[in-house]
Structure 1
Amino acid sequence: MNPFSLQNKTILITGASSGIGRSCSVECSKSGANLILIARNEEELKKTVSLLDPDSKAEVIIADIVNAENLEELIAEKVSILGKISGFIHCAGIEKTLPLKKHNSTLYNDIFAVNVIAGFELAKILSLKKYKSEVASFVFISSVAGLVGEIGKTAYSASKGAVISGARSIAMELSRSNIRVNSISPAMVNTPILNKMFEDVGEESSQEILKKHPLGIGEPEDVANACVFLLSDAAKWITGSNLVVDGGYSAH
């Protein structure tokens, strides 16, 4: 058996309707996984499903992971169809670039609710014996902004730093349940979020950002392939780690 394969594994992915979440869905399906995909946008989620490997089984949940009170019931229903969860990727996220003087408590709360709390709450649900397979792997998408300073990203950076440190503590706690927990910190990746940010900051700042990536801007698949590795049995001795996938950005 290929240790890098996700054959016979059921993977739950949040934020699956675009960007890194969509790419994770596609690459996991190519590696043989069956998928439970969660997002708010039904039309875009259907598009993701249309891109999956035809041999892959997929179930979708149209829900806001911050406000859905019946999320556990929805997950339980999908688990009864596809089987217990072997992997979880928390890709859903909000990015905001604003000067500190324009930050406020609502912004902090909104960003932390999606980037941090929703993911940790899902990990709590998926770590229950009734939903998880014998061995499982959880991956949280963080950011290099959680490791290095970024102008205008106080709330976002703080949330991504919380993802890295929280994931380490979850890893320590869930190891006794045979669940590995890691995070991945990408730099700028070619997604709708990046394009929106470039519009917000203007041409000059955009060029500065590009110069900071020795290997250029990443593609969503670059992050997705790292996720596939961490979900696979090839990474069975890796937990509590933060894998930096940044084209050399943080080497400066």
Structure 2
Amino acid sequence: MNNLNPFSLQGQHVLVTGASSGIGREVAVWLSSQGARITLVARDEQRLKDTHRRLAGEGHAIAVIDFLADPDVSAWMKKLAKESTPFNGLVHAAGVQAPMPIRATSVSHWEKIMSTNVTSSFSLIKAFRQKGVCQSDSSIVLISSVMAKVGEPALLGYCASKGAVESMVKAAAVELAREGIRVNCVAPGVVKTEMADSLKDLVGVDSMEAIEQKHPLGFGTPADVAYAVNYLLSPAARWVTGTALVVDGGYLA
């Protein structure tokens, strides 16, 4: 542990999913500025290369995967660790919101949300804890949402999936504590990203302004989430596991 700065990530190797845009990209860029070596993960190689150009420091890598096409990621992650070094941290920021009223939600739409947000989280946790994949005293951070705790119209699948993620975090934290792995999540309110822009297109400007008014501090930025992730990955959070750190500008209050 760095006694001078317990928030430092110097020398840590962190895998960040969803690193091609939005929160995932900002998390990767910020963590690199704090000394971490990043393995960037997403489906779109060109966008990952764009993120890679923004990283500070050396030794970063790109790994392209589609979690829907390859749900068992254990062999893939073991190969990544073997080709470089075992990971100190995993940040799972890949996800989908896909708003849809209940009457229009098909089973296939529902299952896509669950596969993207829930099954991928399980697969990554299972893969990360393999021998040789992670270091002792490592940390997993999943990106949840305040929608795990409250409801909004047209977000049934998203709310359900994020509720499942937060329950998974608690169970995994208890089980993996003996293996030296902490498991937490960050639950943001509405953050200014492409996902928020698509929500605005769906609900309209007036509705989006009403949603913003529910955030006493206004909408957040991806950096606000990245700072919270930094804390949960760092030695400063060595006694924190199984929790959801709410970063929501006062929305839940």
What root-mean-square deviation, in Å, do the aligned CA atoms of Structure 1 and Structure 2 show? 1.2
Deviating more after overlay: 146-155 vs 62-71: 62-71
Q: Aligned residue for 1:34?
A: 37
Q: Aligned residue for 2:170?
A: 168
CA displacement at 1:107 relative to structure 2:
1.3
Give the whole-Å Cα distance in 1 for the aligned partners of 2:59 and 2:42: 17
TM-score (norm 1): 0.96
2:24 and 2:93 in contact (8 A); partners too: yes
Runs of 4+ aligned residues of structure 1 deviating over 6 Å after TM superposition are none
**What are the residue-to-residue correspondences of 1:20-169 with 2, within 5 Å?**
20-53=23-56, 55-68=57-70, 71-169=73-171
Residue aligned with 2:220, SS: coil
Give the whole-Å Cα distance in 1 for the aligned partners of 2:239 and 2:71: 35
Give the whole-Å Cα distance in 1 for the aligned partners of 2:71 and 2:153: 35
CA displacement at 1:3 relative to structure 2:
1.0
CA displacement at 1:58 relative to structure 2:
1.1
| 1:135 partner letter | D
CA displacement at 1:56 relative to structure 2:
3.5
Q: Aligned residue for 1:223?
A: 225
1:32 and 1:56 in contact (8 A); partners too: no
Deviating more after overlay: 61-70 vs 212-221: 61-70
Give the whole-Å Cα distance in 1 for the aligned partners of 2:126 and 2:68: 14
Give the whole-Å Cα distance in 2 for the aligned partners of 1:149 and 1:73: 37
Structure 1 unaligned regions, length at least 5? none
Q: Aligned residue for 1:200?
A: 202
Give the whole-Å Cα distance in 1 for the aligned partners of 2:17 and 2:58: 17
- Superposed CA deviations along residues 195-221 of structure 1, whole A, max 9, x for unmatched, are 011011112211111111111110001
2:73 and 2:123 in contact (8 A); partners too: no
TM-score (norm 2): 0.96
CA displacement at 1:97 relative to structure 2:
1.5
Give the whole-Å Cα distance in 1 for the aligned partners of 2:76 and 2:8: 27
Give the whole-Å Cα distance in 2 for the aligned partners of 1:191 and 1:26: 15
Residue aligned with 2:88, SS: strand
1:33 and 1:56 in contact (8 A); partners too: no
Give the whole-Å Cα distance in 1 for the aligned partners of 2:10 and 2:83: 17
| 1:49 partner letter | H
Give the whole-Å Cα distance in 2 for the aligned partners of 1:34 and 1:65: 22
Give the whole-Å Cα distance in 2 for the aligned partners of 1:51 and 1:74: 25
- Identity, in percent, stands at 40
Deviating more after overlay: 149-158 vs 62-71: 62-71
Give the whole-Å Cα distance in 1 for the aligned partners of 2:232 and 2:67: 23
CA displacement at 1:225 relative to structure 2:
0.7
CA displacement at 1:130 relative to structure 2:
1.4
2:78 and 2:127 in contact (8 A); partners too: no
Structure 2 unaligned regions, length at least 5? none
